[in-house]
Amino acid sequence: MEEKRGGQKYDAILQAAVKVFAQKGFHRSRVSQIAEQAGIGDGTVYLYFHNKEDILVSLFQERMTDFVYHLRRRLEHTTTFYDTLKILIHYHFEVMEFNPDQAIVTQFELRQQNADINEGISPYLRKYFRIIEEVVDRGKKQGFVKQDIPTVVARKMIFGTIDEVVTDWVNCNCTDFLKEMTEIVYQLLIYGLLDSKASERGNL
Partner DNA sequence: GATGAATGAGCGTTCATTCAT
Partner DNA sequence: AATGAATGAACGCTCATTCAT
Assign residue 195 a region (left: φ > 0; alpha: ψ between -120 and 50; beta: otherwise). beta
Instruction: Tell me if 102 sits within 8 A of 63, measured CB to CB.
Output: yes
Binding test (CB under 8 A) with a second copy, winner from 1, 171, 177, 180: 171
If the CB atoms of residues 49 and 67 are measured against DNA, the closer one turns out to be 49
Q: Is 111 one of the binding residues for a second copy (CB under 8 A)?
A: yes
Instruction: Give the one entry of DNA, a second copy, none that residue 138 binds, where binding means its C-beta sits below a cut-off of 5 to 8 angstroms depending on kind.
Output: none
Instruction: Tell me if 177 sits within 8 A of 97, measured CB to CB.
Output: yes
Instruction: Give the one entry of DNA, a second copy, none that residue 18 binds, where binding means its C-beta sits below a cut-off of 5 to 8 angstroms depending on kind.
Output: none
Binding test (CB under 8 A) with a second copy, winner from 52, 138, 156, 179: 156
Rounded-to-integer distance, Cα 133 and Cα 121, Å: 18
- The 78-97 contact track toward a second copy, x by CB under 8 A, reads --x-x--x------------
Amino acid at 192: G
